[in-house]
Amino acid sequence: MLISSWTPAGSRSDHRRRDLAIEASPSGGYEPIVVRCPANFTIRVAGTDSDFLGQKEADYIAQKAAKSTDLWQTYLAGVGLADFDVANFTTSNPVAGETVPNIGIAMSGGGIRALIGGAGILDAFDNRNPEAVNAGTGGILQLANYITGLSGGSWLLGSWATSNFPRFTALNQTVWRLTEPSSYTSWNSVKRYPKAISQAKRKSKSGFPTSLVEFSFAPFVTTAFFPKVQPFTFLTALSNKPNVFIWICFLSVQSYILSRHLINDTHHGSKVLFSSIRNTTEYLNRQAPFPILLCTSRVNGVSEINSDTPIYEFNPEEFGVCHPTLKAFIPLEDLGSRMEAGKPAREDSCVQGFDNAGFVIGASSNVLSQPGFRKFSWKNILPEAYDKITNHIYDEAIVPVSRLLHKIVFLFPRPKSAVLKQK
């Protein structure tokens, strides 16, 4: 499925000027900061049907549904169903899941193919696409209350949402630029490797543990899709206290790679937070589906992901998991905070700015956590080298499935121990 390259005259510069992603990093860069915790800050335990959804999410869906009467009337009238009373179907007080359907759209993974194919499908559901309206499919996107994505699907949704939910043709022209060549073996990329390594060393000198992955993989991946990016910095010290840190892994590098191509921002997404989506006009006006990015965890040395594997979700309001062993959520802007028994470990143990948009997208699409192939082949030498260097420390694991498994890199503080005593 192809995305049309046509855009109205003047729309390229207008889109980039109007819909730049919102820069909201409290540190002014990629790194989070440690702050004093807000009053009455706790982890939300989603234990019953009455509090299963966060209040802000529930409010968003209710408010969006309440504004959907005209959208439903327009769409159904355009479809031209026989023997169907549109006026009777669209009540004056629509409620999602009760008086009107509660539509959700799920976008699959599959790398750049998932992004391109998914964008084409969603554009065919968009009422801003005249051809889609004429075909009777335009408008479904606006009727949807939810949209989810993982891996390549999260690339699509993260890029779309941080850019204020524009037409996908506009994203293709101004942000993705899919026709531009890029190679990690080109001289423009290779000559930047020493600078990338020196930046990783700077992080180490700041008192942070630096993974071997950053030194061995950074040269290969940081400039593979960043031939024009200015020298960037890795996650730096959060405070002067040596025991306060956030685990850094290859995902920090991958975040820059993704942001360069997906985030509509002049600083390559280093200052853009996923929580800043809620300050976009489309989100504030309840005109876009509620976006949720998904990711999962992997046990050390185990490739299988099954129905018992916890699935974690990022939305503009919260991060958490509905898995019965945890069922806990934290405000997205407070992600990274150290919690005990559902409350901050200390008054100064809270973190802000951890939810960098590229980091969140990367957490949903980190394919390098897969165990390497056991049989040698030249095409698999890079994954094999990754496994050897990292000793199977898989950086997609978010929380430990078992505390007995100690070789897991935690992308986020351990939420289970942060909640258990409270429950």
Measured between alpha carbons, how far apart are the two ends of the chain, in Å?
Answer: 48
Place of tokens 């630096």: 210
- Kindly give the interhelix angle for 212-221 and 381-390, rounded to the nearest 10 degrees: 160
Q: Does residue 377 sit within a domain?
A: yes
Q: What total number of domains does the chain contain?
A: 1
Q: Name the H helices within 130-287.
A: 130-135, 140-143, 152-162, 168-171, 187-190, 193-205, 212-221, 250-262, 281-284
Of the candidates 164, 87, 89, 149, the residue with the CA atom closest to the CA atom of residue 118? 149
Q: What is the pLDDT of residues 109-168, one digit of tens each?
A: 888 889 999 999 999 999 999 999 999 999 999 999 999 999 889 999 999 999 999 999
Of these ranges, 152-161, 230-239, 258-267, the one predicted with the greatest mean pLDDT is: 152-161
* pLDDT mean across residues, the chain: 71
How high is the pLDDT of residue 145?
Answer: 96
pLDDT band at residue 28 using 50, 70 and 90 as cut-offs:
confident
Mean pLDDT to the nearest integer, 322-351: 85
Q: What percent of the chain has pLDDT over 70?
A: 60
Percent of the chain beyond pLDDT 90? 28
Q: Would 2 be classed as within a structural domain? A: no
Give domain status of residue 363, yes or no.
yes
pTM to 2 decimals?
Answer: 0.74
pLDDT at residue 397 tops 90? no
317 near 278, Cβ under 8 Å? Answer: yes
Residue with the bigger pLDDT between 180 and 159: it is 159
Average confidence (pLDDT) over 378-390: 50
- pLDDT above 90 (res 291): yes
**Weakest mean pLDDT among 316-325, 329-338, 376-385, 395-404:** 395-404
pLDDT computed for residue 186 by the predictor:
59
Query: Residue 148: which H helix or E strand, with range?
Result: strand 146-150
CATH of the domain at 393: 3.40.1090
Q: Which domain holds residue 271?
A: 13-419
**Quick check: is 410 in a domain?**
yes
Question: Residue 193 falls within a domain, yes or no?
Answer: yes
Note the residue count of the chain.
423
Max CA distance (Å), the chain: 72
Helices (H), 239-280: 250-262
330 assigned to some structural domain:
yes
pLDDT reading at 193 higher than 60? no
| Look-up of token digits 């129905």 | 307
Residue 101 in any domain: the answer is yes
Q: What is the pLDDT of residue 62?
A: 94
Closest CA to 387 of 401, 373, 399: 373
Q: Which residues contact 419 (CB under 8 A, 6 or more apart)?
A: 43, 45, 326, 328, 339, 341, 342
Whole-angstrom distance, CA of residue 21 vs CA of residue 23: 6
CA distance 174 to 115: 15
| pLDDT band, residue 187 (cuts 50/70/90) | low
Looking at the chain, the number of H-run helices and the number of E-run strands are 17, 11
In this predicted structure, the answer to whether residue 281 has a pLDDT above a threshold of 80 is: yes
- H or E stretch including 177? none
Choice among 126-140, 173-187, 276-290 with the minimum mean pLDDT: 173-187
pLDDT at 292 over 60: yes
More confident residue, 23 or 228: 23
Average pLDDT estimate for 200-226: 34
pLDDT > 60? residue 401: no
Say what the pLDDT of residue 234 is: 25
In a domain, 415, yes or no: yes
- Least confident among 15-19, 98-102, 291-295, 365-369: 15-19
Least confident segment among 66-75, 254-263, 370-379: 370-379
Residue pair 280/265 in contact by the 8 Å Cβ criterion:
no
